[in-house]
């Protein structure tokens, strides 16, 4: 039966989190087939790294063209440091190789994490290149206070958070989006990935000019449990 509301409390709040949250992509070395020894890779990535706990996810689906995301994704919070706690993973002769390493600063969230998600829906968003500072203020106000909430409610998200790119150690192909939205969902929502319902609010003119290079679904390799706050 479809849920009538969100599984966790839902009230928009700003975020004053210090430090960066690191999103690091991983693939097999030497062109190994995707899915090969995935259990070994998942176990490696799920191990706590030096400097902080790590969440590990495996690619579930891609809703974009001309973009090949990594098979695995780790997420970790560096606190006051500017380097990801999982920087050393994959350097011990394992089959894994790092494909990107991006530090994002959290700028808003719907609620603190209360439960670990089954899956993540990642949306990478770029504002128009010609947007002025005043237009970016309008853009961010609409994104945080209207669009983030709309997507979270339609997706029955447990939690949603917005990030802005703070540092790039290793860039993905075609670069990293300036803004990243992460929607944490349960298994039922992850199985229904197509948008259903009325269209989203059109928003101001500057919002209408945005692009969305990333639409990625990742599954938590550890299942739903209490993970670190990202």
Q: Is residue 228 part of a domain?
A: no
Residue 57 sits at φ, ψ, to 5 deg, of: -135, 150
**Contact present, 147 and 123 (Cβ < 8 Å):** no
Q: Is residue 108 part of a domain?
A: yes
Q: The tokens of 202 are what?
A: 């059109």
Domain span at 110 = 17-220
* Ranges of residues in the chain whose predicted pLDDT is under 70: 1-18, 30-52, 64-66, 78-94, 223-230
Pinpoint the alpha helices (H) of 106-145. Answer: 133-142
**Contact present, 85 and 24 (Cβ < 8 Å):** no
> Which pLDDT belongs to residue 64?
66
Can you give the pTM of this predicted structure? Answer: 0.82
CATH number at residue 57: 3.30.70
Q: The tokens of 34 are what?
A: 């995707």
Number of domains composing the chain:
1
Condensed to tens digits (0 to 9), the pLDDT of residues 207-218 reads 999 999 999 999
Q: Is residue 150 part of a domain?
A: yes
Q: Is residue 1 part of a domain?
A: no
Q: Is residue 12 part of a domain?
A: no
Q: Is residue 227 part of a domain?
A: no
179 three-class SS: strand
Condensed to tens digits (0 to 9), the pLDDT of residues 32-58 reads 555 545 555 566 665 554 445 788 999
> Which pLDDT belongs to residue 129?
96
> Which pLDDT belongs to residue 112?
87
């Amino acid at each position: 039966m479809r849920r009538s509301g969100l599984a966790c409390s839902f009230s928009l709040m700003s975020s004053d989190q210090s430090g960066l949250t690191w999103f690091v992509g991983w693939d097999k070395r030497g062109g190994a087939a995707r899915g090969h020894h995935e259990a070994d890779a998942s176990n490696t990535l799920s191990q706590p790294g030096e400097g902080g706990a790590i969440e590990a996810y495996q690619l579930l689906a891609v809703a974009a063209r001309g973009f090949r995301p990594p098979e695995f994704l780790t997420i970790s919070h560096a606190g006051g440091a500017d380097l990801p706690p999982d920087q050393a993973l994959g350097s011990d002769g394992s089959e894994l190789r790092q494909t990107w390493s991006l530090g994002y600063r959290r700028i808003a969230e719907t609620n603190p994490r209360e439960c670990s998600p089954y899956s993540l829906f990642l949306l990478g968003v770029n504002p128009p290149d010609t947007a002025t500072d005043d237009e970016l203020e309008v853009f961010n106000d609409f994104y945080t206070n209207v669009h983030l909430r709309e997507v979270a409610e339609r997706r029955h998200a447990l939690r949603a958070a917005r990030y802005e790119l703070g540092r790039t150690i290793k860039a993905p192909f075609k670069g990293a989006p300036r803004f990243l939205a992460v929607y944490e969902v349960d298994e039922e929502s992850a199985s229904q990935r197509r948008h259903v319902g009325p269209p989203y609010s059109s928003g101001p003119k500057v919002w209408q000019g945005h692009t969305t290079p990333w639409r990625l679904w990742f599954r938590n390799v550890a299942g739903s449990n209490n993970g670190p706050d990202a």
